[in-house]
Amino acid sequence: MAGQAGSGRAPGAKHYLEVPYAQKDQAKALGARWDPARKKWYVPGGIDLAAFSAWMPAGAGTPDVDHSPAAKPAPGGVVTIAHTAPADPHFVPYDGEAPPWE
């Protein structure tokens, strides 16, 4: 693949890109991969980023790491998820047990 030798990057690092749909084949040919969960193209670790500079997002000095609670639990195994109120004032929360309108 293009640019793999001497990249100096960790094998597991992912650098996410902003690739327009019209240029996806060009990015793929250079070694970019598609992340279906995030719906974004990324450069896998071990590949030199120089060829992908046109698609680097602003402030792309470090890998875009998934910091979601599911990806990395807090120390002690406790995961805290903040819930926000929905924008719709008519929203009725539903936990899956019994419909709130009954």
Q: Could you tell me if residue 65 is inside a domain?
A: yes
Q: Could you tell me if residue 34 is inside a domain?
A: yes
DSSP 87: S
Give me the number of domains the chain comprises: 1
Q: Could you tell me if residue 83 is inside a domain?
A: no
Q: Could you tell me if residue 47 is inside a domain?
A: yes
7 burial (CB, 10 Å; 0-12 / 13-18 / 19+) is middle
Give residue 37's domain range.
14-72
Residue pLDDT, tens place only, 40-94: 999 888 888 888 888 988 765 555 555 444 455 556 666 666 666 667 777 766 6
Q: Could you tell me if residue 7 is inside a domain?
A: no
Q: Could you tell me if residue 100 is inside a domain?
A: no
Q: Whole-model pTM?
A: 0.51
> How many other CB atoms are there within 10 angstroms of residue 54's CB atom?
11
Please give the Cα distance from 56 to 52 (Å, whole number): 7
Q: Could you tell me if residue 92 is inside a domain?
A: no
Q: Could you tell me if residue 94 is inside a domain?
A: no
